[in-house]
Amino acid sequence: MKRACPAVLAACLCAVSALPGCKPSTTNAPHPAASTATAGPSEGAAASKPGIALRDLRIILPRVSDRPAALYFLLSNTGTARATLVGVYVDGATKTDMHETVGDTMKPLTKLVIEPGATVVFAPGGKHVMLYGIPGTWKPSDAPAVTLKFADADKVWGKAVVQKAQGPEAVSSAGADMMPGMKM
């Protein structure tokens, strides 16, 4: 019986690990309920983690198709304990990154502490989530599921309304190369 070449075995292992069901999901794995969750009483409302209110979710499509989109929303802590946001996942996007624009610099946010009674605004020119690898089929009025993950493993989810890029705010978080003077 012939023995398989170690290089062939290594190539086979790499090929198997590249299958979608076989590799760990580290870039954008939503909470299972996110794909079936319904928006709350109004479009862009959310459900789940007690004491956290997520509303006014919107995704601004990039002006250039291969650039990232931007996610904006309002996040309120109506509870009595601080909450720490550690991740944002959007159905259809291959990767998401939280950022904050400070002056002419876009800085990554690895976590965000929301004090009791505080509302954090994710808006053009400030905090935002960049969405990479979005489907080319997204169009205005689509509503992909959004999942926010907190340090205590709780999640909040809702639906974000997709909107076409309009005006200067549509470009503000779509990529540093699209904003003169922006540094990353």
| CATH label of the domain that carries residue 33 | 2.60.40.1890
Give 30-68 pLDDT, tens digit per residue: 444 333 333 333 344 455 788 999 999 999 999 988 899
Report yes or no on 86 lying in a domain.
yes
Q: Is residue 182 part of a domain?
A: no
Number of domains making up the chain:
1
Q: Is the pLDDT of residue 134 over 80?
A: yes
Higher pLDDT, 61 or 1: 61
Q: Do the domain assignments include residue 67?
A: yes
The answer to whether residue 68 sits within a structural domain is: yes
Q: What pLDDT score was predicted for residue 154?
A: 93
Three-state secondary structure string covering the chain? CCCCCHHHHHHHHHHHHCCCCCCCCCCCCCCHHHHCCCCCCCCCCEEECCCEEEEEEEEECCCCCCCCEEEEEEEEECCCCCEEEEEEEECCCCEEEEEEEECCEEEECCCEEECCCCEEEECCCCEEEEEECCCCCCCCCCCCEEEEEECCCCEEEEECEEECCCCHHHCCCCCHHHCCCCEC
Would 150 be classed as within a structural domain? yes
* Contact status, residue 90 vs residue 28, Cβ threshold 8 Å: yes
User: Residue 175 pLDDT > 80, yes or no?
Assistant: no
> Does 159 score more than 80 pLDDT?
yes
Whether residue 111 lies inside any domain: the answer is yes
pLDDT at 167: 67
- List the domain range (segments joined by +) for residue 71: 27-175
Q: Is the pTM of this model over 0.85?
A: no
Tell me if 151 is assigned to some domain. Answer: yes
Note the pLDDT of residue 158. 95
